[in-house]
C-alpha cells in the first residue's frame, strides 16, 4: 500500500544560474526582486457577486450582535426605564406605549429588516459596480498595476 523511499543523501540542489534560470538583469542589482506591470482589464461579475454576498452576510451578523449587546447594555443601566417614565410623565400613559417600541424584540426586528436590506443593496451595488468597471475598462484599458517580487 505505502512504500517508504530509501534513506540516502538529499538530492543535489540546482545551480544558482544555469539552464532554465534567467541571468540577472544588468540594470538592477542582484539582490533586488523582479517587477511586473499588469493590467486589470476585466473582473468576473459572478465572483464579485458571491464575494460581496458573503461579506454582506458577515456585516449582517455583526450588526445583529452589536444591536443585541447595545440593547442589553442600555437596558442594564436603566436608559429604557428612564425614557419610558419620561414619556409617561409628558403624555397620557394610555395614548402611547413607549415600552413596546423599546423592547428587545422590536429592536431585533428593526435590525433584521435593516440588515436584510443592507445585504441586498451591498450585493447588487457591488455587482453593478463590477459591470460598470468592465464597460469602462473596455474603453480605457483598465487599471495598471506594478507588482514587485522582494
Give residue 53's pLDDT.
Answer: 98
Q: Distance between CA atoms of 135 and 129, rounded to whole angstroms? A: 10
DSSP for 4-41 reads: PPPP-SPPPPPPSSSTTSPPPPTTS-TTS--EEEEEE-
What is the secondary structure of 108-131 as a DSSP string? HHHHHHHHHHHHHHHHHHHHHHHH
Output the pLDDT for position 2.
46
**Predicted pLDDT of residue 12:** 65
pLDDT at 13: 63
**Structure confidence at residue 106 (pLDDT):** 93
| List of the chain residues with pLDDT < 70 | 1-31, 93-96
Task: Name the pTM for this structure.
Answer: 0.67
Amino acid at each position: 500500500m505505502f512504500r517508504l523511499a530509501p534513506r540516502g543523501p538529499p538530492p543535489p540542489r540546482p545551480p544558482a544560474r544555469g539552464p532554465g534560470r534567467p541571468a540577472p538583469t544588468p540594470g538592477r542589482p542582484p539582490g533586488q526582486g523582479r517587477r511586473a506591470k499588469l493590467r486589470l482589464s476585466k473582473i468576473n461579475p459572478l465572483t464579485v457577486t458571491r464575494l460581496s454576498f458573503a461579506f454582506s452576510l458577515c456585516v449582517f451578523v455583526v450588526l445583529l450582535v452589536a444591536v443585541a449587546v447595545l440593547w442589553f447594555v442600555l437596558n442594564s443601566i436603566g436608559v429604557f426605564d428612564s425614557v419610558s417614565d419620561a414619556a409617561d410623565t409628558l403624555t397620557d400613559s394610555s395614548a402611547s406605549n413607549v415600552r413596546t417600541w423599546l423592547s428587545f424584540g422590536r429592536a431585533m426586528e428593526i435590525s433584521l429588516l435593516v440588515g436584510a436590506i443592507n445585504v441586498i443593496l451591498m450585493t447588487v451595488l457591488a455587482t453593478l459596480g463590477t459591470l460598470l468597471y468592465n464597460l469602462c475598462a473596455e474603453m480605457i484599458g483598465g487599471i495598471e498595476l506594478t507588482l514587485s517580487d522582494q
